[in-house]
Structure 1
Amino acid sequence: MSAGRPEGRYGEAVFPPGRAGEGERIDFGALAYDEVTMARLRALGAGPGWSCLDVGAGTGTVAGRLLDEAGVESVLAVDRDVRFLAARPGLEVLSADVTGPGLLPGRRFRLVHARFVLMHLPERERIVAELAAHVEPGGVLVLSDAVDLTSDRGPDTPYTDAMRAMWAGLRTTIGTDVSRTPSYPRWLRAAGLVPVAAEMHVPPLVPGSPISRFWADTWERGRAAMVGTGLVDDAAIDAAVRYLESPECAALSAGMLTAWGWKPRDAPAE
């Protein structure tokens, strides 16, 4: 491995989709964030007549809700591994790598959406520009990714110890970097979108909540990468899981920043 280069990719070095329970882990994240995501997409106007591209569609919860609740005309759900996705009326499924060249030549959509995707990828700014190219004039690009609010400044607790080790381990193994998420509004503007805006949501860490179960599952599945940092050992990870389920837990979860930008209606064809 070259200095500073990650060892592998999401779904390979960690979080392989074929591992039992991975779909359930993804769904805990969906339970924590889908309502907020759908509220934003509806507020942006997603509805009848809209064509949508959902990048990194996971288990398809957002794609399904766009069709069933927002009533959009069509959704193309794209992921490198589509085992959790099934085509249905209005839903097209495509196995593709967003980092590769020529993702969808010539195709444009009223909504392009990517959640918890770019944070795991190299060359994020380039990919933002490429996703913007798939937005039709008058359409909108919506990006959501994690922001770490506490692990670099919060008090030492089993939770903050685990989160520090998780971010460090994921950065080493697959290149995950949430430090650049606050740059998304600027990157959207640089891609020619205007106006742009952003908001944040932090789900509460409550024992038994979807987000608490998501972090516990994520630590378990990323255990080797976390221990490999030298910041925690197995006992510390087990203590962090117990802390999440304890009334002693007093912490902020990582949040989700959502940024969006509109393509001008008079934008030239690309």
Structure 2
Amino acid sequence: MTDSRSPGGAGRYGEDLFAPEHPREAERVDAAALVYDPFTTHRLRALGAGRGGRCLEVGAGTGTVARWLLEEAGAREVVALDRDTEALAARGGRGLRVLRADLTDERLRPGTFDLIHARFVLMHLPDRRRIVSRLAGWLNPGGVLVLGDAVELPDTRDTSSAYRRTMDAMWRALRTTIGTDISGVPAYPRFLREEGLREVAGEVWCPPLVAGGPLARFWSGTWSRMRPELTATGLVDAGVVDRAVAYLDSPALAEIGPGMAMAWGRRA
């Protein structure tokens, strides 16, 4: 993921948390891709995104969406932008241009695009409103900007379960460590409208959280990797985290897990 210094946390995604060189990081990222890629590609297909165009995939991760744009959507070229590009280079292909860069770098000039897609990126960035403006400015006439970030519908009556306490500790730890903030995600449609984009709309999807499934594996991997940061919040101890991780693989699992909100708009 692309990232930079964030208010509320002096760290960086990919450095202070979730370093890409960790032997299981690509596996964790791919588990999330298994869940969210079908939803993402369904929306991109419905928008007619990619066909014969030049696309920018921001925070491209292991490149699953970038490759879909080339192989399935018929994009002419996909620029896959990330701060760490090792996984992209290893899984590259024809028409894929890998660009190692920080999205917040004011010197960045990647050109203009018919589609710009950023998933689980802006939530980690400082001054995301300014970033939305920059992304919108890179659109060709008729081009589409699609933003996706995390949202959560917590069970407000559950304040004591290991799952709820660990999830709450995670959001707090992400905020204080690297500045992650999902509270502003519902404002994305307004941001796009303020940029003069048309056909602005949005949707929310919460994928099933199934015991032992890819989303459960993603959260289990995330919490296991964040154990020191989770316990540092004071909301949980190691035993609570252990119970929460075990619950994700248990037949007793019954939760609406965090989902994704997508918003999009088209340049006139």
> TM-score range with shorter-chain normalisation?
over 0.9
User: Which residue does 1:40 correspond to in 2?
Assistant: 43
Alpha-carbon distance in 2 for matches of 1:174, 1:85? 23
Tell me which amino acid in the other structure corresponds to 1:143.
Answer: L
Alpha-carbon distance in 1 for matches of 2:87, 2:157? 37
Alpha-carbon distance in 2 for matches of 1:157, 1:192? 45
User: Which residue does 1:236 correspond to in 2?
Assistant: 240
Tell me which amino acid in the other structure corresponds to 1:94.
Answer: L
The 3 A distance-change label for structure 1 pair 151 and 8 is farther
> Contact between 2:120 and 2:150, CA under 8 Å: does it hold in 1?
yes
**How far apart are residue 88 of structure 1 and its match?**
2.3
Alpha-carbon distance in 1 for matches of 2:255, 2:193? 33
**How far apart are residue 103 of structure 1 and its match?**
1.8
After superposition, residues 141-180 of structure 1 pair within 5 angstroms as: 141-150=145-154, 154-180=158-184
Secondary structure in 1 matching 2:201: strand
Q: Which of 76, 96, 103 is equivalent to 1:98? A: 103
After superposition, residues 1-270 of structure 1 pair within 5 angstroms as: 5-86=8-89, 87-104=92-109, 107-150=111-154, 154-264=158-268
The 3 A distance-change label for structure 1 pair 161 and 151 is farther
| Paired-residue identity, % | 55
Tell me which amino acid in the other structure corresponds to 1:116.
Answer: F
Any stretches of 5+ residues in structure 2 without a counterpart?
Answer: 1-6
The 3 A distance-change label for structure 1 pair 110 and 154 is farther
**How far apart are residue 47 of structure 1 and its match?**
3.9
Secondary structure in 1 matching 2:97: strand
Secondary structure in 1 matching 2:98: strand
Alpha-carbon distance in 1 for matches of 2:160, 2:258? 16
**How far apart are residue 151 of structure 1 and its match?**
6.0
After the TM superposition, which segments of 4 or more aligned residues of structure 1 sit over 6 Å from their partners?
none
Alpha-carbon distance in 1 for matches of 2:79, 2:234? 41
Any stretches of 5+ residues in structure 1 without a counterpart?
Answer: 265-270
The 3 A distance-change label for structure 1 pair 128 and 7 is same
The CA RMSD over aligned residues, in Å, is 1.3
> Contact between 1:129 and 1:191, CA under 8 Å: does it hold in 2?
yes
Normalising by structure 2, report the TM-score.
0.94
Alpha-carbon distance in 2 for matches of 1:164, 1:155? 9
> Contact between 2:49 and 2:144, CA under 8 Å: does it hold in 1?
no
Q: Deviations over 1:105-140 (max 9, x none)?
A: 5x1100000000000111010000001111111110
Alpha-carbon distance in 1 for matches of 2:8, 2:46? 39
Secondary structure in 1 matching 2:87: coil
Tell me which amino acid in the other structure corresponds to 1:174.
Answer: I
